[in-house]
Amino acid sequence: MTIAIMFKVDGEKLTGSMEGPMGTVPISNGKIAGDDFSFTIDLDGNTMLHKGKITGDTIKITVEGEMTLEFTLKRVQKK
């Protein structure tokens, strides 16, 4: 499954959107402090908390919802 997350950072505020097989959803309650960040998304009435850590061009994310998932994102340069 391919998921694209577009982040926008303004100080400690994190916004953006997540795009995947279910469509595009906005990021809510986003916070960033150093290399650590968190945000929520609402998918069909289910709020899922995402917590992550940035290391270079790699991001490791843990998703907490009905089940816990972990995945790794790699930066793609904007075309």
| Tens digits of pLDDT across the chain (79 residues) | 778 889 999 999 999 999 988 889 999 999 999 999 999 999 888 889 999 999 998 999 999 877 888 988 888 777 6
User: What DSSP character marks residue 25?
Assistant: E
Domain boundaries, position 33 = 4-74
CB 5 within 8 A of CB 26: no
The number of distinct structural domains making up the chain is 1
Q: Are strands 28-33 and 36-43 parallel, antiparallel or unpaired?
A: antiparallel
User: Which residue reads 């916004």 in tokens?
Assistant: 15
pTM of the entire structure?
A: 0.84
